[in-house]
């Protein structure tokens, strides 16, 4: 049996950020990741300023800016392509840090390579799927299997941090009836090579989940040497089917494109964007109800294992990064690791629960929903006939405050 201090179960964004944060504070750990080989998988992700604050502190901001696209603005439209609201983002809104659209696989690779370099390859263990753990006063024992399901040697640790995602095996041990909450919203995500849209640095929300919604933003610039960008998009629809979409399953445009068949605007042909996708994946829009406890003796939960939330507002990764820094700081500052786990939970559990619930009830696209209600879901002469820009700005600012990335919060 291998003897270790801190075992991080899961080598995704949360697990790698925790490993890097601990290393900065002079604390050793080992990361166990289920996949045999780390590859650049997935589609796009937006790194908000409070997420970038954490990544900058980990020393990877230059690498991220080199491969992502800095957002200039966020723009809202109705499903008829009519303008609703625009606001500057990141540095352009006065934040000390940028807001960046990036391929999720590239973010993961940058964190993974940094962890390999700083911790050493002997500390990163791939091909280890966690099947459970036991613990006593002497320590914790974590059990793993390989990709084929064969048992691997167990690992003994003082502390175990579950960063193994929404389907966490370690969370399941303490919440055996744990299930995802599906509210009838299915999503499809894709990436398409396309000429720059609007400014070429615009994050766009079009329509609403009630009648069909698209989130669209660029993640790779000049992908072909001819000025084309790789555009990330997510299509959402509420109540289109009682059946929940699968996870990371290859999606088909024909399953949902009818919702957007008339979305041909003077600034974008949405059906063509969908049809020309390099890749389409389907996902359910799910989260989990906040739980009353994250820490169980020598085990604590982090990231999606602790607080899976709707992929709205680009906030899941940011909250995981804040988790990582908070726990690393507590472990560095306290001689008793169990007290550090408890202090981490005390700071983060209720804060993230508020974000989970806000993403359900008052997401960033509440702006679109509100305008749809005011207009009777019909085209309008001008947005000012329905609602003022100040009122729309207030809706946007309220979400930022709850999610923790108001300008004041990030500057502080």
| Res 173 pLDDT > 80 | yes
**Regarding predicted confidence, which is higher, 57 or 148?**
57
Mean pLDDT along residues 64-69: 96
Residues 175 and 307 placed together within one structural domain of the fold: yes
Mean pLDDT along residues 152-173: 95
Query: Does 85 map to a domain?
Result: no
Q: What single DSSP character describes residue 383?
A: G
Residues 279 and 155 placed together within one structural domain of the fold: no
How confident is the model at residue 209, as a pLDDT?
85
Please name which of 7, 18, 6 lies closest in space to residue 303, comparing C-alpha atoms. Answer: 18
How confident is the model at residue 241, as a pLDDT?
58
Residues with Cβ within 8 Å of 405's Cβ and at least 6 positions away in sequence, in order, are: 48, 49, 50, 315, 318
Q: Give the residues across from 279 on adjacent strands.
A: 191
227 band by pLDDT with thresholds 50, 70 and 90: very high
Structural domain count, the chain: 2
| Res 3 pLDDT > 60 | no
How confident is the model at residue 4, as a pLDDT?
66
Pair 232, 174: CB distance under 8 Å: no
Residue 245 belongs to a domain with what CATH number?
3.30.9.30
Query: Does 330 map to a domain?
Result: yes
Please name which of 112, 169, 123, 132 lies closest in space to residue 4, comparing C-alpha atoms. Answer: 123
Q: Rounded to whole angstroms, how far apart are CA atoms 114 and 51?
A: 17
Mean pLDDT along residues 208-229: 93
Cβ burial of 335 (10 Å; 0-12, 13-18, 19+) is exposed
| Res 242 pLDDT > 70 | no
How confident is the model at residue 348, as a pLDDT?
97
| Res 41 pLDDT > 90 | no
| Res 240 pLDDT > 60 | no
239 band by pLDDT with thresholds 50, 70 and 90: confident
Residues 49 and 112 placed together within one structural domain of the fold: yes
Query: Does 87 map to a domain?
Result: no
Residues 344 and 357 placed together within one structural domain of the fold: yes
Residues 267 and 294 placed together within one structural domain of the fold: no
Of 218-222, 251-255, 340-344, the least confident: 251-255
How confident is the model at residue 311, as a pLDDT?
78
Pair 301, 347: CB distance under 8 Å: no
Query: Does 86 map to a domain?
Result: no
Residue 227's domain comprises 181-288+362-411
Query: Does 80 map to a domain?
Result: no
DSSP 3-state of 132: strand
What six digits make up the tokens of 399?
Answer: 């979400």
What six digits make up the tokens of 389?
Answer: 């820009």
Mean pLDDT along residues 8-16: 96
Please name which of 203, 390, 201, 218 lies closest in space to residue 313, comparing C-alpha atoms. Answer: 203
pLDDT tens per residue across span 270-304:
999 999 999 899 888 889 999 999 999 999 999 99
Task: Give me the chain's average pLDDT, please.
Answer: 92
How confident is the model at residue 39, as a pLDDT?
77
Alpha-carbon torsion, ordered 51, 56, 57, 59, to 10 deg: 140
Alpha-carbon torsion, ordered 336, 340, 342, 344, to 10 deg: 180
Query: Does 300 map to a domain?
Result: yes
Residues 307 and 197 placed together within one structural domain of the fold: no
Query: Does 84 map to a domain?
Result: no
Residue 316 belongs to a domain with what CATH number?
3.50.50.60
Residues 24 and 118 placed together within one structural domain of the fold: yes
Query: Does 83 map to a domain?
Result: no
| Res 70 pLDDT > 70 | yes
DSSP secondary structure, 55-95, as one string: HHHTT-HHHHHHHSEE--EEEEE-TTS-EEEEEE-GGGGT-
Residues with Cβ within 8 Å of 258's Cβ and at least 6 positions away in sequence, in order, are: none
pTM beyond 0.85: the answer is yes
Q: Rounded to whole angstroms, how far apart are CA atoms 35 and 51?
A: 25
Please name which of 184, 170, 185 lies closest in space to residue 215, comparing C-alpha atoms. Answer: 185
Of 22-26, 167-171, 250-254, the least confident: 250-254
Residues 319 and 344 placed together within one structural domain of the fold: yes
Residues 55 and 174 placed together within one structural domain of the fold: yes
Residues 133 and 280 placed together within one structural domain of the fold: no
Please name which of 209, 190, 217, 191 lies closest in space to residue 314, comparing C-alpha atoms. Answer: 217
Q: What percent of the chain has pLDDT over 90?
A: 75
Phi, psi of 288 (to 5 degrees): -135, 150
| Res 244 pLDDT > 80 | no
Q: Rounded to whole angstroms, how far apart are CA atoms 125 and 46?
A: 28
Residues 347 and 375 placed together within one structural domain of the fold: no
Q: What single DSSP character describes residue 296?
A: B
How confident is the model at residue 196, as a pLDDT?
98
Please name which of 53, 125, 65 lies closest in space to residue 101, comparing C-alpha atoms. Answer: 65
**Axis crossing angle, helix 337-361 with helix 316-333, rounded to the nearest 10:** 160
Q: Rounded to whole angstroms, how far apart are CA atoms 213 and 382?
A: 21
Residues 201 and 284 placed together within one structural domain of the fold: yes
Q: Rounded to whole angstroms, how far apart are CA atoms 220 and 242?
A: 35
333 band by pLDDT with thresholds 50, 70 and 90: very high
């Amino acid at each position: 049996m291998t003897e270790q201090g801190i075992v991080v179960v899961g080598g995704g964004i949360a697990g790698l950020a925790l490993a890097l944060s601990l290393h900065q504070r002079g604390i050793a750990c080992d990361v166990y990741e289920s996949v045999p080989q780390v590859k650049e998988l997935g589609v796009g992700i937006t790194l908000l300023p409070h997420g970038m604050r954490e990544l900058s502190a980990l020393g990877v901001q230059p690498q991220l800016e080199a491969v992502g696209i800095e957002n200039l603005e966020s723009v809202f439209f109705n499903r008829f392509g009519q303008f609703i609201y625009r606001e500057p983002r990141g540095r352009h809104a006065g934040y000390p840090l940028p807001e960046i659209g990036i391929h999720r696989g590239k973010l993961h690779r940058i964190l993974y390579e940094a962890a390999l370099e700083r911790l050493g390859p002997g500390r990163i263990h791939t091909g280890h799927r966690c099947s459970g753990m036991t613990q006593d006063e002497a320590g914790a024992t974590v059990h793993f299997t390989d990709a084929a399901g064969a048992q691997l040697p167990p690992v003994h640790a003082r502390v175990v941090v579950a960063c193994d995602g929404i389907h966490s095996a370690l969370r399941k041990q303490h919440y055996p009836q744990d299930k995802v909450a599906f509210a009838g919203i299915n999503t499809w995500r894709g990436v398409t090579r396309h000429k720059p849209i609007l400014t070429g640095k615009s994050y766009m929300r079009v329509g609403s989940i009630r009648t069909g919604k698209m989130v669209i933003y660029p993640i790779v610039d000049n992908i072909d040497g001819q000025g084309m960008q790789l555009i990330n998009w997510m299509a959402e629809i509420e109540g289109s089917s009682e059946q929940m979409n699968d996870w990371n399953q290859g999606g088909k445009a024909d399953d949902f494109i009818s919702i957007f068949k008339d979305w041909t605007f003077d600034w974008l042909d949405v059906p063509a964007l969908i049809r020309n996708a390099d890749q389409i994946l389907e996902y359910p829009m799910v989260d989990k109800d906040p739980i009353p406890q994250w820490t169980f003796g020598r085990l604590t939960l982090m990231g999606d294992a602790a607080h899976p939330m709707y992929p709205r507002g680009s906030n899941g990764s940011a909250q995981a990064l804040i988790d990582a820094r908070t726990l690393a700081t507590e472990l560095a500052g306290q001689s008793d690791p169990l007290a550090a786990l408890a202090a981490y939970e005390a700071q983060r559990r209720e804060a993230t629960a508020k974000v989970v619930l806000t993403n359900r009830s008052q997401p960033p696209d509440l702006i679109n929903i509100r305008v749809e209600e005011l207009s009777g879901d019909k085209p309008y002469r001008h947005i000012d006939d329905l609602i003022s820009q100040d009122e729309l700005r207030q809706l946007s600012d309220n979400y930022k405050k709850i999610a923790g990335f108001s300008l004041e919060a990030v500057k502080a």
